[in-house]
Amino acid sequence: MSYMDKSIEEIHEALKKGLVTSDELVKESLEKSHFVQDKCNAFVTILDDAKGTEVTDSLLSGIPYGVKDNYSTKGVLSTGSSNTLKDYVPFFSATAIDNLSKAGAVMVNKTVLDEFGMGGTGTTGHTGIVTNPWDHTRMCAGSSAGSAAAVAAGVYPYATGSDTGDSIRKPAAYCGIVGYKPTYGMISRYGLFPFASSLDHCGVLTRSVRDAAIVTDAMKGIDKNDMTSWDSKDVHLLDALDGKVSSKKLCYIKEICDIKNYPNASDELKAHLDNFMKTIDICKKLGMEVDEVSVDETLLKASPATYVVISCAEATSNMSNLTGFIFGPRASGDKWDEEMKNYRTKGFSPLIKRRFVIGSYVLQAQNKDRYFHNAQRVRRLLVDEWKKLFEKYDAVILPVGSGPAKKLEGSKDALDKNTAILEDHLQIGNFGGFPSITIPNGFIDGLPVGVNITGNCYEDEKILNIAYALEGAMDFKGQVCKEVR
Ligand code: GLN
């Protein structure tokens, strides 16, 4: 009997009835971890000596899960998938991980990401490329690549992720699972390696909306160590899922969804947008009103550049503490500055260093207003535009990416001008700190694709409920890919 491809509530019930023990679940999850490691290279560390925990009324008690390797985990290697921290073992755990431990959850592995979360392919971690369990010639997207691969392959029902531009929500789509980042600050970021602090969100990858609600209910909470965290004790995500959505109003954006905007559209892109429009019909059948709306195209197209400027600037500042003296392996050199230079030059991959060059450039005194401050102004305009939509609509619904997972070979971590806005609109959810969830939206040529629902800050209950109703009207809930079935 396999339990790790079931939902959290099903596993909890089996534990309660004594059909299985927590130790047996851990054993199953570890065996699957090794199997998926051979196939997908999804893990930095597999905790072979993990032990089951006592089963209580907490839904997560005794159940295994995975942790993205940019979360600090006490006494357990935490690398951020970077050579600069390849031997770093923190002496404390991230608050979100402590909260999961308090709920009785059992961490069984640490998952691979793009180095420090800076990437969208799952190919830039220091332990190598993560392959997509649905098709190993394709990427998982990133940066939460290992978490997405493992949840999709049935290693466990959930793993943690982090999302600065789309890093939970895009890998979820490419792997056919659910990816949710709650409103900014709902889950404490304390102990999450910072990438771009004003955009960073903790979140989860699961195989159902209910599971996403259960895990987030356990991870969230105000934290004195994260001054951007807020008190969400009145938010009960699981309890809010009643599937009643008939009075809800959604919109999708013409400039992003209309095939006419893509003159050289591939068959794949056409199928993807067609598929999305069918989902819009399902929303209407559920009784929701769905409108097509227009947003200034110039503003939309400014989003990727805005993201690059802000995220690189913040990353450059955040990562200046990686000197090789406090964390990470000591580099060689006769003097301290030589040591630091060697550590950073050899430790960071070229992709990351390119981002630091951009970040330093836009922060230079003579450039700051032209680039950094202007990017902040555009961020504000984009957030205001979305807020305007939320005055009239409960949520914005949009396709994720320009199709299914891309081929590993020949793909670059660079923007394709034609489809950039389709690929990058999720970052607007980070600009505004909006709650945003991706759910599976079927298959194109046998490969999963996703649909995203984003709402106004603090309206997580409503957003999850819309996603829950839509998930219930489609056939992809709880899907586990062929890998370990
Ligand atoms: N792909 C985006 C980037 O490269 C987003 C990454 C993220 O959300 N962590 O920065």
Classify 470 as helix, strand or coil.
helix
Looking at the CA of residue 113, tell me the nearest atom of ligand 1. 9
**227 or 1: which leads in pLDDT:** 227
Residue 482 binned pLDDT confidence (cut-offs 50, 70, 90) = confident
**CA angle centred on 485, ends 132 and 136, rounded to 5°:** 20
pLDDT value, residue 218: 98
Atom 3, ligand 1: residue with shortest CA distance: 119
pLDDT value, residue 485: 47
Closest CA to 175 of 421, 467, 438: 438
Measure 50 CA to ligand 1 centroid, in angstroms: 31
pLDDT of residue 413 exceeding 70: no
Dist. CA 466–CA 452, nearest whole Å: 11
Q: Quote the tokens at residue 284.
A: 């209407």
pLDDT of residue 414 exceeding 60: no
Measure 253 CA to ligand 1 centroid, in angstroms: 22
Closest CA to 398 of 406, 407, 389: 389
Measure 121 CA to ligand 1 centroid, in angstroms: 9
Looking at the CA of residue 120, tell me the nearest atom of ligand 1. 1
Residues within a 6 A CB radius of ligand 1: 117-120, 143, 163-167, 195, 311
Dist. CA 129–CA 193, nearest whole Å: 21
Tell me the pLDDT tens digit for each residue of 380-407. 999 999 999 999 999 999 999 999 999 9
Among left, alpha and beta (phi > 0; psi -120 to 50; other), residue 458 is left
Residue 327 binned pLDDT confidence (cut-offs 50, 70, 90) = confident
pLDDT of residue 285 exceeding 50: yes
Dist. CA 393–CA 387, nearest whole Å: 10
Interval 223-241 mean pLDDT: 98
Looking at the CA of residue 141, tell me the nearest atom of ligand 1. 1
DSSP class per residue in 429-455: HHHHT--EEEEEEEEETTEEEEEEEEE
pLDDT value, residue 412: 57
pLDDT of residue 262 exceeding 70: yes
Residue 484 binned pLDDT confidence (cut-offs 50, 70, 90) = low
pLDDT value, residue 420: 86
Q: Quote the tokens at residue 336.
A: 């301290």
CB-based contact 245:290 (threshold 8 Å): no
Measure 167 CA to ligand 1 centroid, in angstroms: 5
CB-based contact 404:447 (threshold 8 Å): yes
CB-based contact 353:347 (threshold 8 Å): no
Tell me the pLDDT tens digit for each residue of 446-479. 999 999 999 999 999 999 999 999 999 999 999 9
**Among 123, 144, 167, residue to substitute to test ligand 1 (most atoms within 8 Å of Cβ):** 167
pLDDT value, residue 411: 62
Percent of the chain predicted with pLDDT > 90: 95
Catalytic residues: 68, 143, 167
pLDDT value, residue 56: 98
State residue 187 phi and psi, 5-degree precision: -105, 130
**CA angle centred on 360, ends 359 and 364, rounded to 5°:** 120
Q: Quote the tokens at residue 217.
A: 């209910």
The answer to which of 115-124, 332-341, 350-359, 408-417 has the lowest mean pLDDT is 408-417
pLDDT of residue 44 exceeding 90: yes
pLDDT value, residue 328: 86
Interval 197-202 mean pLDDT: 98
Residue 130 binned pLDDT confidence (cut-offs 50, 70, 90) = very high
**417 or 280: which leads in pLDDT:** 280
**Among 202, 311, 316, residue to substitute to test ligand 1 (most atoms within 8 Å of Cβ):** 311
Tally of CB atoms within 10 A around 444? 18
**Mean pLDDT for the chain?**
96
pLDDT value, residue 418: 80
pLDDT value, residue 10: 98
pLDDT of residue 237 exceeding 90: yes
Measure 399 CA to ligand 1 centroid, in angstroms: 18
pLDDT of residue 16 exceeding 50: yes
pLDDT value, residue 55: 98
Interval 64-68 mean pLDDT: 99
Atom 1, ligand 1: residue with shortest CA distance: 120
Distance of CA 247 to the CA centre of its chain: 29
